Structure 1
Amino acid sequence: MRVLLSTYGTRGDVEPLVALAVRLRALGVEVRMCTPPDEEFTRRLVGIGVQPVPVGLPVREMMRGRTLPSATDLDRYRNELVETQFGTFPAAFDGCDVVVAAGLGQVAARSAAEAAGIPYVYVSYAAVHLPSPHHAPPPRPGWPDPGAADNRTLWERDARNVDAQFGEALNRHRAALGLPLVHNVRDHILTDRPWLAADTVLGPWPETPGTDVVQTGAWTLADERPLPADLAEFLDAGSPPVYVGFGSMPPREGIGGMVVEAVRARGCRVLVSRGWADLDLVEDGADCLAIGEVNHQRLFGRVAAVVHHGGAGTTLAAARAGTPQVVAPLQLSDNPYWAGQVAALQLGAALDARTTTAESLGRALGTALSPETRARTRALAGRLRTDGAEVAARRLVGAGR
């Protein structure tokens, strides 16, 4: 059996499919994976025995600045990606038995699978990406603001925005392939039975009449890497520090330094993760250390709290470690959703990164560092499962789609 996995995005988009690929390989399945051509993704796939298929522009180059690309640039990137997908996918899908696509940007995947006569599965990493009257659509940068309305109306407007971006290109290529036209691009990509690769406690699917969602649990791997020697020495040298990191996202100008000062004001040491934004907020002093990419599974159990942007992987890693969180999300994708989940489950505090102040950060840290929050996070950690990728792999192999 051969499975084709496909996504386009940052590390948070790629790593869940890496976890699925490892589980599929353990079951004797051959795996190909379409990802951005960034060297770190290619190296990661080759290291687990998966054939990489580069698609689109390097993502890290697009995220290098202090702000997201402009609406005009995003529009151009999206259109170019669709053309690249239709040019690349037919050869990549050849000989495969099933296609698993992650993310709304996989516009061409279902059409290429249809043309090849192979099954197609869509997966989301957060419930907020799937239409439901229980929540509004996630923020989509570069597209018109849908305005204030009830959730059903917002999802209708969201579908029109997706059609406006992708409808003409998708149907032009479908016509060339001899496939029928699509009248709702978003729902065509999602299918009527999407998968949800999120933990059922941390990010459950809200039961929605008429919607059939397969929630497998989050797709992750155990990380056995040791911590770097300088980080281990720093951890051993004093009280548990507060971790500050924004992953692949460019944080609001000045917010990193503001967080560091707020942490210090509470008498805590600080770990600053440079991330893709290449943060370097360390002043001279033994209470602060800047680090690169490290094993969060091993690290988060040794810190007092995790301050981050609301990425699905960071939220889950901190929750599994039983460590309180302060989430200051960008208005982007599922970041506000995970901030809301942290607040709703009382695992820490959520802020709006656009309006965060030193005072609001101080209050949020006070909530996160309280004994009551620590007790709740530790209690919830024991309820989170780690077998989501295994569940998904066995469904694919057993054709239980």
Structure 2
Amino acid sequence: MTRKMTQRRVAIALASAAALTLMLAGCGTANSGGGGGTVKEAEKLGKTEGSVSILAWPGYVEDGSNDPKVDWVTPFEKETGCTVTTKTFGTSDEAFNLMKTGNYDVISASGDASLRLVASGAVAPVNTKLLKNYDGIFSFLKDRAWNTVDGKSYGVPHGYGANVLMYDTKTFPTAPDSWDVVFEKAGEHKGKVTAYDSPIYIADAAMYLMAHQPDLGIKNPYALDQKQFDAAVKLLKEQKPNISEYWGDYLKEVQSFKSGTSVVGTSWQVIQNVLAGEGGSTAVTIPKEGATGWSDTWMISSKSKSPNCAYAWLDYISSPKANAEATSYFGEAPSSQEACKFRDDCEAYHAGDAEYAKNIWYWTTPIADCVDGRTDVKCIDYAAWTKAWQEIKG
């Protein structure tokens, strides 16, 4: 599964400040062309159009061309009559720009892109009552800040995972219980600490500060005022001399831990699975401060030429068997308990564990209108996060 899969990179490039700072109260009424009008959710479904164009992370839409044994697209085509064409992307910024063209019907969007898509009018609200598989999706994935605006759902949850702490068991015979091993105590393993290469990693530092500097008043690591943001950036600049590498390609981190170049740092469960399968001496944990993570959403273009096939895809990919196949191949937890009937590794991914999920701060686009609900200050938007990240890395 994992060797054939190109894992995600979410090192988002500088986005338009205007797009990032739109008032979300107006997101549901702007169209993708920016010329006014209303984007409404579908009231009923009609005859499928015969084709659907999908923009997706690598590994999310497999038709057997990469591996004959990996194919959940062909059954969909036979079932619905909707021929699938797919384009993959490597970053959320690339996905955002492609979706704005209106050339795609469906997109799989991470939380650091979904709000931008809503704000730009590129995606339409989704009438979840038209999806027979929606009710079975874990409740803790629904109605969240990255997939719902003004009470309107803008998509269907796909899968989710945590950015866990990976450690070499020879170096750490006892599992670390805090992220301090990559921050304040990183100097103890100077040059062997690894971190995720993306501006969104600033949220990891903010999450750590929530627990260790409560006087900063951080309530959400994606909602940082200037003082809070400066503190997170300072922590990451102090971490920099201890970093072995910033990784975006999961295979590079696999090699880094196998070679001993890295002994501790941010990782994904799928990376631990690969290392365990190759006899690596690593383990993963979620420390007491919690973890950041992702929950991707299938969204429909506001300019879709095939809205009925688009709805058909959203319903199909959230069906237990298809969702199990897609999330297993990618290396994440499925979106429903029923999907676990088609997987034997749900326990490893903590699927359906609401208490585990509570410890995850899912990627959410930072915007000027603080997503933690504060109205007396302005928060730092993602454009500034991106600029700061380049300064941190040097």
TM-score by length of 1: 0.26
TM-score by length of 2: 0.27
Specify which structure has the bigger relative contact order, considering alpha-carbon pairs within 8 angstroms and separated by 6 or more residues. 2
